[in-house]
Amino acid sequence: MDDIEAIKILKARYFRTVDLKDWPALRALFCDDATVDMSQAGGAILGPDDFLESVMSTLANVLTVHHGHMPEIMLSGSTASGIWSMEDLVRYPDGRELHGYGHYHDAYEKHGSDWKIKSSRLTRLRVDITDAAESPTTA
């Protein structure tokens, strides 16, 4: 498998593990010295363990659907960078929903034959929030 395809699979696993709340698998995707910058989306800049703790507490009882599209991946030896168009849907237990659009700006590092996320920064273009009374009731 070529490196670009491996990075696409890595990011697909990121989205899937967040949505399925597979926390150990999510943590395994990051370098130990990685940074995750969610400050533009209302969060903070965190290392991988603090990021995982934040995601676990924030999304524990929340339904999420994350999609990544149109990757722009640039390779440079054992490092790479990528920009992903993204869309997410977050449905809270009280029925409120957040529907967001933006980009992930990532850096990757190759460890042996595996790629890992070295840094990730989420930028938002738009966020729509729907009150519980306006949200659909489908599961």
pLDDT digits (tens, 9 = 90+) for 33-53: 999 999 987 788 999 999 999
- Residue ranges of the chain with pLDDT lower than 50? none
Burial call 78-101: b when 16+ CB within 10 Å, e when fewer: eebbbbbebebebbeeeebbeebe
Write the CATH number of the domain with boundaries 3-134. Answer: 3.10.450.50
Question: What distances in angstroms separate CA 17 from CA 12, 64, 98, one per listed residue?
Answer: 9, 11, 19
H/E stretch holding 30 reads strand 30-37
pLDDT for res 40: 85
